[in-house]
Amino acid sequence: ISSVELTQLYLDRINRLNPAINAYVSTQPERSLAQAKAADARLAAGDAGPLTGIPLAQKDIFCAEGWLTTCGSKMLANFVSPYDATVIQKFDAAGAVNLGKTNMDEFAMGSSNETSFFGPVKNPWDQSRVPGGSSGGSAAAVAARLAPAATGTDTGGSIRQPAALCNLTGLKPTYGVVSRWGMIAFASSLDQAGPMARSAEDCGLLLNAMAGFDPKDSTSLERPVEDYTRELNAPAAAKPLAGLKIGLPKEFFGEGCDAAVMAAIQAAIEQYKALGAEMVEVSLPNMKLSVPAYYVIAPAEASSNLSRFDGVRYGYRAPEYDSLDDMYAKSRAQGFGAEVKRRILIGTYVLSHGYYDAYYLQAQRIRRLIAEDFVAAFKQCDVILGPTSPSTAFKLGDKAGDPVQMYLSDIYTIAVNLAGLPGMSLPCGFAEGLPVGLQLIGNYFDEARLLNVAHRYQ
Ligand code: GLN
């Protein structure tokens, strides 16, 4: 099959099924097909890599030249980016085809996709349920076969949680492995882009294209280029994971997780034992502080990052105003949704004189303690295993009115971002007909091993 045929096949499916799922915010079929044609020429010339001609969906947080780049917000609903994010450039260079931009929670703030200005995304497994968030459009697109794979970003769980709720494999790399240049910033010290796909192998192929040092991102890490799929093709052995120590943090196995989800996780643990892995109990005593610390640090950074949306340089401007200050105020009041405003208010509060020490500094101290917990745990084990999300996909509207309930859906994912570690979610069966995600957390730069541990299970 040629890339043009493959791309056309996906575009037809998008046409037919996207109105119900709402996974894509924008497509440009002619541009996608032109890219596919160029990829076919490269294939014919023998100048092709593993992604040449492969159509991919891009989360609408990545700037892509000539594409609407909305970040799920009214603020950017008409913003056409004049340049490509590094991630987009890298996929272009690899010859991948951009199928379109996917729906997401507004500015990546949310766990259900319900904060999007473009309306909620439906979970393809049950359209009365959420796909997770914030990368819910990407997850739904791959799950509904409207794309073979997609990009996501993960500040507190936004790749792993939607991957779990939609039965996908998703990887958040070590902080600094993938360039953030051209990726609209939410909380810069936590944001990291990564792949969402149907298998660990596909995630590895995408990560190979995405990763790498970028002088345009000051937190990008200068490291040798890696092949993240290098461990996947080792000859199959009876016990392919013999010698691997898997840490089970007792904090992941206490209260707070649905019994049906836990049953699927326990079954996965048995399977890992059969593959030769050894289970060791570990502890992350400060895990319980991760949600409160995150909801100080992430809004603090967001309140600073979002100050650029002032109605002057780009984005939404209120049609009527009395003065410059009034223009700022009205543009922001009308352009941002409720969750984004809540975060800006929390963020400016915790950074304000008199509260900075009590909230922001304390949260930074907790962040350090959480990172140290992981350092100690990784002295006893190679990877950490637990649930990705405490529940399967919930009903649309169920948590939309209760921010704290929504925030708690990330209890198992947020600590990983605070520590900057790589983490992934992979499918581990179903509970009452809905997908369950298994989370694997690795030590810094251990993506290749994580992918292999996921691959052996699949
Ligand atoms: N759900 C979390 C939040 O709302 C994480 C989102 C994300 O990872 N972008 O902040």
pLDDT tens-digit readout, 210-266: 999 999 999 999 999 999 999 998 877 789 999 999 999 999 998 899 999 999 999
Tell me whether residue 37 is in a domain. Answer: yes
Question: Per the structure block, which two tokens stand in for 410?
Answer: 């990330």
CA distances from 66 to 28, 31, 69, 193, 238 (A): 10, 10, 9, 21, 51
Ligand 1 within 6 A of CB of 158? yes
Q: Is 154 in the pocket of ligand 1 (CB under 6 A)?
A: yes
Ligand 1 pocket, residue 110 CB under 6 Å: yes
Best of 102, 105, 296 for a ligand 1 pocket test (most atoms within 8 Å of beta carbon):
105
State the pLDDT at residue 236. 73
437 within 8 A of 410, measured Cβ to Cβ: no
Our answer on whether the CB atom of 410 is closer than 6 Å to any ligand 1 atom is: yes
Tokens of 35: 């890219």
Domain tally, the chain? 1
Residue 174 per-residue DSSP state: P
- The response to whether residue 55 sits with its C-beta less than 6 Å from ligand 1 reads no
Atom of ligand 1 nearest to the CA of 155: 8
Tokens 């917990």 belong to residue: 373
Q: Which residues pair with 150 in a beta bridge?
A: 57, 196
Q: How far is the CA of 92 from the centre of ligand 1 (A)?
A: 28
Ligand 1 in reach of 134 Cβ (< 6 A): yes
Query: Is the CA virtual torsion 212, 214, 217, 222 positive or negative?
Result: positive
Using the mean position of ligand 1's atoms as its centre, give its distance from the Cα of residue 161 in Å. Answer: 9
ipTM of this predicted complex?
A: 0.98
3 state SS of 344? helix
Which of 59, 60, 109 is the pocket-test mutation for ligand 1 (most atoms within 8 Å of CB)?
A: 109
Q: Which residue has the tokens 């340049």?
A: 83
120 in a structural domain: yes
Exposed e or buried b per residue across 303-341, where buried means at least 16 C-beta atoms within 10 angstroms of its C-beta:
bbbbeebbbeebbbbbeeeeeeeebbbbbbeebbbebbe
pLDDT (0 to 100) of residue 86: 98
187 pocket-lining for ligand 1 (C-beta < 6 Å): no
Residue 181 in any domain: the answer is yes
What 8-state DSSP symbol labels residue 125? T
| Closest of 192, 241, 235 to residue 217, by C-alpha | 192
Residue 91, domain member (yes or no): yes
Nearest-atom number in ligand 1 for the CA of 154 is: 8
Q: Is 155 in the pocket of ligand 1 (CB under 6 A)?
A: yes
Residue 268 maps to a domain = no
**What's the 33 CA to ligand 1 centre distance in angstroms?**
33
Closest ligand 1 atom to 409 CA: 1
Comparing CA positions, the residue from 178, 211, 183 lying closest to residue 63 is 183
Contact criterion met (CB below 8 Å) for 207 and 454: no
Residue 304 Cα to ligand 1 midpoint, Å, equals 17
User: Residue 445 domain-assigned?
Assistant: no
Residue 253 CB: number of other CB atoms within 10 A?
17
CA-CA distance, 189 to 301, in Å (whole number)?
8
Atom of ligand 1 nearest to the CA of 407: 1
Instruction: Identify the domain containing residue 80 by its residue range.
Output: 3-210
Tokens of 52: 């040449």
Which one, of 87, 57, 63, 86, lies nearest residue 76 by Cα?
63
**Residues designated as active site:** 59, 134, 158
Domain-embedded: residue 420: no
Residue 123 counted as domain residue: yes
CATH number at residue 150: 3.90.1300.10
Q: How far does the centroid of ligand 1 lie from the alpha carbon of residue 109, in Å?
A: 5
d(CA 69, CA 63): 6
Residue pLDDT tens, the chain, 458 long: 999 999 999 999 999 999 999 999 999 999 999 999 999 999 999 999 999 999 999 999 999 999 999 999 999 999 999 999 999 999 999 999 999 999 999 999 999 999 999 999 999 999 999 999 999 999 999 999 999 999 999 999 999 999 999 999 999 999 999 999 999 999 999 999 999 999 999 999 999 999 999 999 999 999 999 999 999 988 777 899 999 999 999 999 988 999 999 999 999 999 999 999 999 999 999 999 999 999 999 999 999 999 999 999 889 999 999 999 999 999 999 999 999 999 999 999 999 999 999 999 999 999 999 999 999 999 999 999 999 999 999 999 999 999 999 999 899 999 999 999 999 999 999 999 999 999 999 999 999 999 999 999 97
pLDDT in tens, 397-450: 999 999 999 999 899 999 999 999 999 999 999 999 999 999 999 999 999 999
